[in-house]
Amino acid sequence: MKTVTIADVAKYADVSKSTVSQFLNHRYDYMGEKTKKRIELAIEELGYSPNIIARSLKQKSTTTIGVIVANILHVFSTQVIRAIEDFCNEADFHIIVCNADDNPVKEKRYIDMLRAKQVDGIITFPTGGNVALYERLIDDNYPIVFMDRMIPDIAISTVLLDNKKASELAVETFVKKGYSQIGMITPSLDQGITPRMERIAGFKNAIREHNLSFNPSYFASSEIPDIQNVIKEMLELPSPPDAILALNDRVLFEILKYTKKHHINIPDDLALIGIDDVSFASFYSPALTTIAQPAFEMGKKAAELLLNRIRNKDQNAEMEIHRFEPKLLDRESC
Amino acid sequence: MKTVTIADVAKYADVSKSTVSQFLNHRYDYMGEKTKKRIELAIEELGYSPNIIARSLKQKSTTTIGVIVANILHVFSTQVIRAIEDFCNEADFHIIVCNADDNPVKEKRYIDMLRAKQVDGIITFPTGGNVALYERLIDDNYPIVFMDRMIPDIAISTVLLDNKKASELAVETFVKKGYSQIGMITPSLDQGITPRMERIAGFKNAIREHNLSFNPSYFASSEIPDIQNVIKEMLELPSPPDAILALNDRVLFEILKYTKKHHINIPDDLALIGIDDVSFASFYSPALTTIAQPAFEMGKKAAELLLNRIRNKDQNAEMEIHRFEPKLLDRESC
DNA sequence: CTGAAAGCGCTTACAG
DNA sequence: CTGAAAGCGCTTACAG
């Protein structure tokens, strides 16, 4: 790599570096036609391409943002990233993606490194374990938006699902179809992650509103690896639930594994609704009734919020919460 | 954001910027203990964090690489990215991810921008539409590795599946289980993408080796949106195939949609094997026999090749092709 | 209309 | 053991 710089172009075109810089930044207001042509030619001949790092240093903007997801292997994260990337691409921004694995230590490391790399802003699925750091970010007026989760007392704009509504939709659908022994299975609640908490709250609430009584033995949560036992326990109750809401796609997977293994017939033996639409929902047997999150719109909104914030750096932006509507995909499992 | 620089730290600690820089880079060989302490304290007090952009400009390394996938929504890409990210994280590198959508124009734009941003190297799923650009990269001795696809006459190290083997495994499995009318369905072949071509070649080859005759009407390809018709045509043949190999997960999805809709019994009416393991394979009914790619190992290897290449920039690296073994997951659909 | 100069925040020989 | 100075490749007032 030869590394041709603006100085080379200037010399070749016989103008000053300033003029070349003006040209590159499309400020031709006062530039002579011949000068323009000469510079164009020089760039062409030399195969010059500007060093954006140098520009970034001076301009204090890298046109890059960081995106910290819990785990890119989760379909929801993937869709969110894709939407963010598309939006950023339009705006000539790039995204650095990081997996925090819901680990506050990794999250902190990433946020620190990303800031050291001078990214213009960050979109993160916050772990909740770095409150002091979030506060620092706010103090610094650093552009950041939260995705999927809120952190108590942290005033950072957030994009997330109307999680209560999602559960309510599910319960309502179960009730409408005549189920009344409704259970719910969730992953670990240790970290108090927003969507889980809210979906549970929404579930309990909906149960009450439909004049059913909340049966604690119809509610269970567990780390994914142990969840088969939890399912087993619930379904082997003397009077087991006739319907189960899976808090997310990973729980749904586990229930499906269980029902296949034990030849449980869906929906006759057990009705099922999962939050998160899954790739195979429509051609599974039975087709799976799910509640989808508008992941692309959510990702787009987050990107939009962040880029606006970046562009109006000065204004101390208002904190905004954007709730997105879940959507029932009524198929055959309920 | 106050922006505290190395100069502030130097002043606060009453040493020169050079000394602070030495400290930051852990070159304490000759540094006095008291000096060290003073600098440490200054950094602490001031909340200093180095500006990596400035360092990058000087050192000509950004410890960032670009990863251009076809589409992050594809599970394989997602797994590859995760593996790359994990490997890079270990080495304190970050990754910028881009979706080229198999569009050479987007690919070129991304490669140019990424280089302008001085990323230290690129891992890409090449579209094949930018031969001149690839050659330029080689001329510049720019660190790059190809993933999943090779481009004729382009000597760039590549990590990919042993695709012929994957098809052969499938055919062999079909034959072993007594199927002999074996068909194959593929997505569009317009772009001549390596895995598709190789899997087809492997399929034809295996058919021959098993002394079956290749029946052209048992072979079809089409854009995904039109693929239902293609499937219909094949399965409504007077003498339809008794087994079909789906070239990838997306084709498998379509076949599954079709068989569900038309109540075709798997494997009795039609045996099925798909290349790419899918999330629901084990709990679908019947459980799906698939051929998995070791996506994580492949991503890791690509990252390893690239980082090695980056570290030994001088040496004109040998071009290496790394083929990974497909793995048969023998379940119930065949 | 264009150029000289300073500066962005670091690192790195080199001198002492 | 530590500092002054130059330089990485740009941009941006400012002067003319």
pLDDT of residue B315: 67
**Has residue B2 got a pLDDT over 70?**
no
Distance CA A63, CA A44 (A): 25
Copy the structure tokens of residue B284: 């679908």
| DSSP labels, B299-331 | HHHHHHHHHHHHHT-SS-PPP-EEEE--EEE--
Gap from A33 CA to C3 C1', Å: 18
Q: Burial level of B4, CB count in 10 A (0-12/13-18/19+)?
A: middle
- For chain B, the straight-line distance linking the first and the last C-alpha, in angstroms and rounded, comes to 62
- Per CB-CB distance under 8 Å, the chain A contacts of B56 are 53
Bases of chain C with protein Cβ within 7 A: 1-13
Give tens-digit pLDDT for A264-312: 999 999 999 999 999 999 999 999 999 999 999 999 999 999 999 999 8
Domains of chain B: 6-50 (no CATH), 63-161+296-323 (3.40.50.2300), 163-292 (3.40.50.2300)
Mean pLDDT of chain A: 94
Give tens-digit pLDDT for B18-67: 999 989 888 766 677 888 889 999 999 999 999 999 999 999 999 999 99
Distance CA B39, CA B19 (A): 9
- Per CB-CB distance under 8 Å, the chain B contacts of A123 are none
Distance CA B334, CA B323 (A): 26
Distance CA A94, CA B119 (A): 12
**Has residue A95 got a pLDDT over 90?**
yes
Distance CA B288, CA B282 (A): 6
Interface test with B, best of A94, A103, A228, A253 (most B CBs within 10 A): A94
Q: Are B271 and B302 in contact (CB under 8 A)?
A: no
Q: Do B280 and A285 touch (CB under 8 A)?
A: no
pTM (2 decimals)? 0.95
B25 touches A: beta carbon within 8 Å:
no
Strands laid side by side in the B243-246 sheet: B219-221, B182-186, B243-246, B271-275, B289-292, B327-329
Give tens-digit pLDDT for B136-154: 999 999 999 999 999 999 9
pLDDT of residue A136: 94
Q: Is A148 left (phi over 0), alpha (psi -120 to 50) or beta?
A: left
pLDDT bin (cut points 50, 70, 90) of residue B100 is: very high
At residue B192, φ and ψ (nearest 5 deg) are 65, 30
DSSP A317: P
pLDDT of residue A29: 64
Distance CA A218, CA B282 (A): 26
B59 touches A: beta carbon within 8 Å:
no
Higher pLDDT, B193 or A318: B193
Lowest mean pLDDT among A142-146, A186-190, A214-218, A317-321: A317-321
Q: State the SS3 of B251-273.
A: HHHHHHHHHHHCCCCCCCCCEEE
Q: Which residues touch strand C (CB under 7 A)?
A: A 14-19, 22, 30-32, 34-35, 54, 57-58, 60; B 3, 5-7, 17-18, 21-22, 24-25, 48, 50-51, 54-55, 57-59
C-alpha distance from residue A129 to each of A152, B20, B173 (Å): 11, 32, 50
pLDDT of residue A30: 67
Q: Are A82 and A94 in contact (CB under 8 A)?
A: no
Higher pLDDT, A184 or A313: A184
pLDDT bin (cut points 50, 70, 90) of residue B184 is: very high
Distance CA B78, CA A58 (A): 35
- Per CB-CB distance under 8 Å, the chain B contacts of A98 are 85, 89, 94
